Structures are given as structure tokens and as C-alpha cells.
Amino acid sequence: MKNVYLFSKIVLIIVFFSPVKSSALPSSVWHKGQMMLFNKVTLEGELSYNWKTEIVLLRQSDGRVRAFSATQVQQFGWFDYSFHKQRNFLVLPTLVNKQAKSAFFEIYMDGSLAVVRRLRKSQGLFKRLFNHPAYYNDQPSLAQTNDFFDYFVYDAGQLRAFDRFNLDIYEPLLTAYGEEMRQYIISHNINDHTLLGRLVLIDHYNFLVQHDPKTASARGAGYTQEPAPVSYP
């Protein structure tokens, strides 16, 4: 009886996750926005970004659709009514399989320490079931799921991976307000081993910097500087 139950469960999983017809694939979501090319030319129209292909589409007023990669674009963005905020993307140098390339990153959190993110490489069963690029069109269900992304602090032209949070982020950067940060962690019971906890800590650090008269004017939006490549497997 146990084997029959297990077999039935496996069948249900296979049926549920079996490849769907192309008509059922997620469609592109368009937002009115702007794009700046590397030659500083600004284009306006409706934008749609695919995280997997790293291609941003521009649909202009005449109906033409043009595709741009990270080698052509400097930055783009739109106001996302699902999030009620402006979302901005920029191009940063990175290393993929030890090869230098340009890649799109979303500015997830602005401030003295900016947090940027890009799509995490899917593996295993998830990769096999959801390998069609249409699943990675930017849409609320994807963008709101933080675990689908890798996060980095972008400070003074350097990208620091969240995977090395204590060594590369907390110790060299956040300890400038060591006592304030420790009290904040204790009073709010923050788990700095989780993604959410780390995002909260960086947000609080930015708050401290913003309200510190000694540093408020000394540090700007670091993401406008030319960064060093970051290793991304």
C-alpha cells in the first residue's frame, strides 16, 4: 500500500510539472520607461526585461520592437506599479566561467551601500522544469521572490557577494557603526545568516549614514562609479 501511495505521488508530481503548451507560458510584461545606451543616447518607450536571456526589449510608439544586450546599454528603468516604486537596472562588469562580460543588475536598494541583484543560476529539478526563457520575463511573481536572485553590495566600485557577508561586507563596512549595529541586531532579534536579515542590516546602516552629519555628504550613490569585476559562476 505504501508503494502504491508513493507511485501515485510521483505520478502527480510528474503531471503537475510536465512541460506546458507554449500558449500557457508567461507573456512579456511591458512598462513605460527609459533606456540609456553606452553612447549616451536616451530611448523612450515600453520596456520588457528577461532575466534569463539578459535581453531588454524596447517597444516604440510606432510598434517596432528592438532588442538590446548588456553590451549596448548603460542603464534602463521604469516605474513598476506592482511595487509602487521606480526600478532601475544598470550594467556592471562580471566574470562568468572566468570570462569577463557585461551583465545587467537591478538596483535593489539604494543608499550609501547600494544592493544590486541578478538572477541566480537554477539547478537540478527546477532547472529542468523551468528552462524556457518565458518563465524569466520580469513580472511580480518572479521579482518578488528574493530567493531567485544573487545579491551584492556595490560600494566604491566593488561588488561584494552576500555569500561572504561577514567577511566581505559586515566586518570591513558595517563595523563603522559597530555598537549601533549590535544594539539594532539584539533589539530587533535579527538573524544575519538569512537574506532578509542581511538586507535589513544594510538598510539600517544606510539609515545611520544618512543621518550622520560627518558622512552624509561624504558618500554618494556608489553605483555610478566604474566597478571591478565580480566572479559569478
In SS3 terms, the chain reads as CHHHHHHHHHHHHHHHHCCCCHHHCCCCCCEEEEEEECCCCEEEEEEEEECCCCEEEEECCCCCEEEECCCCEEEEEEEECCCCEEEEEEEEEEEECCEEEEEEEEEEECCCCEEEEEECCCCHHHHHHCCCHHHHECCHHHHCCHHHEEEEEEECCEEEEHHHHHHHHHCCCHHHHHHHHHHHHHHCCCCCCCHHHHHHHHHHHHHHHHCCCCCCCCCCCHHHCCCCCEEEC
CA geometry: angle 192, 105, 112, nearest 5 deg: 55
- Residue 163's CB is within 10 A of a number of other CB atoms, namely 10
Phi, psi at 159, each rounded to 5°: -100, 125
Residue 2 has pLDDT above 50, yes or no: no
Lowest mean pLDDT among 50-64, 108-122, 219-233: 219-233
Residue 114 has pLDDT above 90, yes or no: yes
Answer yes or no: is 153 within a domain. yes
Widest Cα–Cα separation across the chain: 71
Answer yes or no: is 31 within a domain. yes
Q: What pTM was estimated for this model as a whole?
A: 0.78
Note the pLDDT of residue 55: 96
Note the pLDDT of residue 131: 66
Q: Which residues contact 111 (CB under 8 A, 6 or more apart)?
A: 202, 203, 206, 209, 210, 221
| Cα distance between residue 130 and residue 47, in whole Å | 23
Answer yes or no: is 103 within a domain. yes
Report the percentage of the chain scoring pLDDT > 90: 60
Note the pLDDT of residue 28: 84
pLDDT in tens, 66-89: 999 999 999 999 999 999 999 999
Residue 123 has pLDDT above 70, yes or no: no
Answer yes or no: is 200 within a domain. no
pLDDT in tens, 4-57: 444 444 443 333 344 444 457 778 899 999 999 999 999 999 999 999 999 999
pLDDT in tens, 136-193: 899 998 999 998 999 999 988 788 999 999 999 999 999 999 999 999 999 999 999 9
Q: How confident is the model at residue 58 (pLDDT cuts 50, 70, 90)?
A: very high
Answer yes or no: is 83 within a domain. yes
Note the pLDDT of residue 16: 38
Specify the number of domains making up the chain. Answer: 1
Note the pLDDT of residue 72: 97
Give the structural domain span for 36: 24-161+219-232
Answer yes or no: is 73 within a domain. yes
Residue 97 has pLDDT above 90, yes or no: no
| Cα distance between residue 167 and residue 145, in whole Å | 26
Note the pLDDT of residue 220: 45
